[in-house]
Amino acid sequence: LDGEKGIYANAEWDGREAERPASMELIHPDGKKGFQIDCGIRIRGGFSRRSSNPKHSFRLFFRDTYGPSKLKYPLFGDNGAKEFDNVDLRTFQNYSWHIGDKERTIFLRDQFNRDLQLAMGQPAARGKFYHLFINGHYWGVFNTCERIKASYGASYLGGKKENYDAIKKGRTYLEDRKMSVGVMA
């Protein structure tokens, strides 16, 4: 997070060159077993990466460059995936304290809609809310969220991630292979 080369001060940076080494640790207040893993971290999002924005979202990458190439932990409970290539730590932009709309601040809308979709038996990204500390400093409430990418298709629909392509508004996550199944995000 250092001022000159850190990702927070340079939130507009994008891509692998913007990634920095980090350590992630999940500590449950009830003493339930959590985890510690070395990983890469970047700023994520559109509006949340603007330098004028005081609170940025993060994306954590699990690569053998840093340690294990996957996070192996039931981050979203018994019904969720048990392995992850990456995890998002989302902050909230719409109706948020930092854009002058304190009276209408809502931190639940996105996750509530995803939870409703799951409750109706449809595929959706799972998520939970966590208090984030960085280097011992409280950073606020963040929402972990699965990314709807090829690995999501393999985890919940079966097969290998190489059999899926994820298409997101404005971007296509293709890895030099022909499309076999599309997962829309």
Write down the pLDDT at residue 74: 95
Going by C-beta distance under 8 Å and a sequence separation of 6 or more, which residues neighbour residue 39?
A: 21, 22, 23, 24, 60, 61, 62, 63, 66, 67, 71
CB 46, CB 98: distance < 8 Å: no
Write down the pLDDT at residue 24: 92
Whether the full predicted model's pTM is greater than 0.85, yes or no, is no
Percentage above 90 pLDDT, the chain: 42
Write down the pLDDT at residue 185: 46
Percentage above 70 pLDDT, the chain: 82
Reference 145, options 181, 120, 112; nearest CA is 112
Gyration radius of the chain over CA positions: 17
How many CA atoms lie within 13 Å of 17's alpha carbon, on the beta-carbon side?
A: 5
Q: Using one digit for the tens of pLDDT, what is the confidence trace for 123-165?
A: 999 999 999 988 788 888 899 988 888 888 899 999 998 998 8
What are the structural domain ranges in the chain? 16-147, 148-185
Reference 60, options 33, 25, 112, 12; nearest CA is 25
Write down the pLDDT at residue 104: 67
Cα–Cα distance for residue pair 3/6, rounded to 1 Å: 6
Task: State yes or no: pLDDT of 81 exceeds 80.
Answer: yes
Average pLDDT, the chain: 83
Q: Using one digit for the tens of pLDDT, what is the confidence trace for 49-76?
A: 777 777 888 999 999 999 999 999 999 9
Any idea which residue has 């950073």 for tokens? 139
More confident residue, 45 or 62: 62
